[in-house]
Amino acid sequence: MLSIRRAEPRDVPEILALIRELAEYERAPAEVTAREADLLRDGFSAEPRFFVEMAEWDGAVAGFAFWFFNYSTWQGRRGLYLEDLFVRPSFRGRGIGRLNAWGPTLSLRGGRRCNVTPGGSDSSRTRARTPGPCS
């Protein structure tokens, strides 16, 4: 069963592992220079620069959504920018990577607008490609 929860500082080693797995999949493992200390500093301080939601399937980490707030000058409201939505290969095919599985959680975080990074060419990254609501 799928559950999605906000990441905590104790998740940082797993977050970094997911980032490295995504980079490996994208054939760019050498480009990852982030360290656990960087993620702790920038994601779990009094003023976080990014947020992470963890996907778990029956208690096992299946993937993550890595996002941060942005702001639309035209609409006069904040939204969120979904940088990465990654699902481990062994958990694919269960609907975890569909944006609508994450939408309710991201909308609760204040994402009235949701921009998604154009990414890889298949199911390792979210299929959503255009700005729009998070759900």
Any residues with CB less than 8 A from the CB of 85 and at least 6 apart, and which? 63, 64, 65, 66, 97, 99, 102, 116, 125, 126
Q: How confident is the model at residue 127 (pLDDT cuts 50, 70, 90)?
A: very low
Read off the pLDDT of residues 33-70 as tens digits, 9 standing for 90 and up: 999 999 999 999 999 999 999 999 999 999 999 999 88
- Please report the beta strands in 8-135, taking only residues with DSSP state E, as ranges in sequence order: 51-57, 60-72, 77-87, 114-116
Q: How confident is the model at residue 110 (pLDDT cuts 50, 70, 90)?
A: low
Single-letter residue type at 126: T
Any residues with CB less than 8 A from the CB of 74 and at least 6 apart, and which? none
User: What domains does the chain contain, in order, with CATH numbers?
Assistant: 2-116 (3.40.630.30)
